[in-house]
């Protein structure tokens, strides 16, 4: 769940002074907390723009190691992400907000149903960017009206290090899986931020409560953690199935299993989830059609059907071809020979990305000699990358 470095929503409007302007900073803070909860936010914390300098250093190290892969937008203007004051010189307080999206079932259960696709919890409902941004804007307008000071809102896509800021604001801590863990909500908080030109009293940061636990490191199917608290995004299934635009590297295909959009393993195994409850926001709740969709049905989606199924869903962002690529990797891993026909049909798809993944899926499902016969008839393939898939699969 990542996004390009999108623009900043500047909500500075006319100076609307209401009675809240007379509130002391601590009363203003308390009133903001009440407004936030009424708007559906489950966690709120306050910090200052200079609170995350160490995280900024780690971030630059991460870029230096190439851990961001093809997410070039993450490396654009890195100083802005590393230091909130470089993004906006006028920021004096940062309000971090969290929305609980806790699942109502165990996200690991679907992994055993190999003829079905696993869509990560965050993407089974409406797109959180849209849901949360609307609310952040309302809250920011309230603050602007109360103080007359400028405010800016961010969720995910801007150059903001949301996790370290949320830790500094006391909402939780960055666990060894690098996500923010909350004592109350476990791994399941979406984050958003309001930068404000008003000085507000800040909260104490949260301490690390991972202790000797290593569950998230041990469960990762692709060994994406070179060390605790460090992720090599290029190995992470979330990156491979969502951000990666080309063919999925061969070394990860089997480990991906039936995960067709994102991955929740390291989040789901965290022992702090024992205190988590299902999220209360209906728009973010899992749609029945996306809990355990049959791979056979997904493989038949053309572009209009894909758009219809994933209306308002974050899955829509990757487009039909990349999604079908993921479905074909899952089909190849399904062990279900009945799905071979779906892959065979997609050998004639217009997209080389899809055709290449179909070749691999068939190589996993068909008896060797039958696949060799099919490969010997593949001479007319015009695309170089698909030709390579045939060669790799036949060898």
Active-site annotation, residues: 156
* Nearest-angstrom CA–CA distance, 156 and 162: 7
Q: Does 295 bind ligand SF4 (CB under 6 A)?
A: no
Q: Which stretch binds ligand B12 (CB under 6 A): 37-45, 189-197, 312-320, 362-370?
A: 189-197
Out of ligand SF4, ligand B12, none, what residue 143 binds, judged by CB under 5 to 8 A for its kind, is none
Provide the Cα torsion 244, 248, 253, 258; round to 10°.
50
Nearer to ligand B12, 216 or 357 (CB): 216
* Nearest-angstrom CA–CA distance, 167 and 348: 50
* Nearest-angstrom CA–CA distance, 50 and 99: 24
Q: Does 95 bind ligand SF4 (CB under 6 A)?
A: no
Ramachandran angles phi, psi of 223, nearest 5°: 50, 55
Nearer to ligand SF4, 3 or 33 (CB): 3
- In DSSP terms, which residues pair with 95 in a beta bridge? 46, 194
* Nearest-angstrom CA–CA distance, 54 and 151: 25
| The one among 18, 76, 214, 385 contacting ligand SF4 by CB under 6 A | 214
- Taking CB under 6 A as the rule, which mask of x and - marks residues 320-359 in contact with ligand B12? ----------------------------------------
Region 249-288 residues binding ligand B12, contact defined as CB under 6 A? 262-264, 266-267
3-state secondary structure of 230: strand
3-state secondary structure of 132: helix
Out of ligand SF4, ligand B12, none, what residue 44 binds, judged by CB under 5 to 8 A for its kind, is none
- Taking CB under 6 A as the rule, which mask of x and - marks residues 149-168 in contact with ligand SF4? --------------------
Out of ligand SF4, ligand B12, none, what residue 162 binds, judged by CB under 5 to 8 A for its kind, is ligand B12
Residue spans of beta strands (DSSP E) within the chain: 9-10, 43-47, 93-100, 118-119, 151-154, 173-174, 180-181, 189-196, 259-261
Q: Does 58 bind ligand B12 (CB under 6 A)?
A: yes
Task: Tell me the pairing of strands 189-196 and 93-100.
Answer: antiparallel
300: Cα separation from own chain's centroid: 25
Out of ligand B12, ligand SF4, none, what residue 160 binds, judged by CB under 5 to 8 A for its kind, is ligand B12
Q: Are 386 and 357 in contact (CB under 8 A)?
A: no
| The one among 43, 111, 216, 260 contacting ligand SF4 by CB under 6 A | 216
| The one among 120, 144, 198, 313 contacting ligand B12 by CB under 6 A | 120
3-state secondary structure of 122: helix
| The one among 8, 23, 86, 215 contacting ligand SF4 by CB under 6 A | 215
Q: Are 313 and 126 in contact (CB under 8 A)?
A: yes
Q: Least distance to ligand SF4 from the beta carbon of 227, Å?
A: 12
Rg of the chain in Å (alpha carbons)? 23
Binding region for ligand SF4 (CB under 6 A) = 175-177, 181, 210, 213-216, 219-222, 224, 231, 236-238, 263, 265-266, 269-272
Binding region for ligand B12 (CB under 6 A) = 1-2, 55, 58-59, 62, 71, 74, 120, 122, 155-156, 160-164, 174, 177-180, 189-191, 229-231, 233, 236, 238-239, 243, 262-264, 266-267
């Amino acid at each position: 769940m990542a996004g390009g470095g999108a623009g900043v929503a500047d909500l500075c409007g006319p100076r609307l002074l209401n009675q809240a302007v007379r509130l002391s900073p601590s009363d203003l803070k308390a009133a903001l907390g009440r407004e936030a909860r009424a708007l559906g936010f489950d966690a709120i914390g306050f910090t200052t723009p200079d609170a995350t300098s160490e995280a900024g250093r780690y971030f630059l190290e991460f870029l230096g190691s190439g851990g961001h892969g093809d997410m070039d937008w993450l490396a654009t203007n890195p100083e802005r992400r590393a230091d909130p004051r470089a993004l906006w010189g006028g920021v004096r307080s940062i309000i971090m907000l969290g929305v609980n999206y806790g699942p109502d079932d165990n996200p690991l259960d679907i992994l055993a149903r190999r003829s079905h696709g696993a869509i990560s919890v965050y993407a089974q409902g409406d797109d959180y960017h849209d849901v949360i941004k609307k609310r952040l804007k309302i809250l920011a307008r309230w603050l602007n009206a109360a103080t007359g000071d400028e405010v800016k809102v961010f969720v995910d896509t801007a150059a903001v290090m949301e996790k370290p800021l949320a830790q500094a604001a006391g909402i939780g801590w960055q666990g060894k899986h690098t996500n923010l863990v909350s004592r109350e909500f476990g791994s399941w908080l979406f984050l958003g931020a309001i930068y404000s030109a008003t000085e507000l009293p800040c909260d104490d940061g949260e301490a690390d409560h991972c202790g000797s636990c290593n569950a998230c490191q041990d469960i990762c199917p692709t060994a994406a953690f070179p060390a605790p608290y460090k992720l090599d995004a290029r190995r992470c299934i979330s990156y491979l199935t969502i951000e990666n635009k080309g063919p999925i590297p061969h070394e990860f295909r089997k480990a991906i299993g039936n995960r067709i959009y994102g991955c929740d393993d390291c989040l789901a195994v965290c022992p702090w989830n024992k205190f988590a409850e299902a999220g209360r926001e209906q728009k973010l709740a899992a749609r029945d059609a996306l809990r355990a969709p049959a791979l056979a049905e997904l493989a038949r989606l053309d572009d209009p059907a894909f758009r219809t199924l994933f209306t308002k869903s974050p899955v829509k962002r990757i487009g039909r071809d990349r999604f079908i690529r993921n479905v074909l990797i899952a089909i190849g891993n399904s062990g279900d020979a009945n799905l071979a026909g779906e892959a065979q049909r997609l050998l004639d798809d217009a997209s080389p990305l899809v055709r290449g993944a179909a070749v691999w899926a068939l190589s996993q499902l068909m008896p060797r000699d039958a696949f060799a016969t099919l490969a010997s008839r593949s001479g007319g393939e015009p695309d170089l990358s698909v030709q390579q898939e045939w060669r790799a699969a036949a060898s």
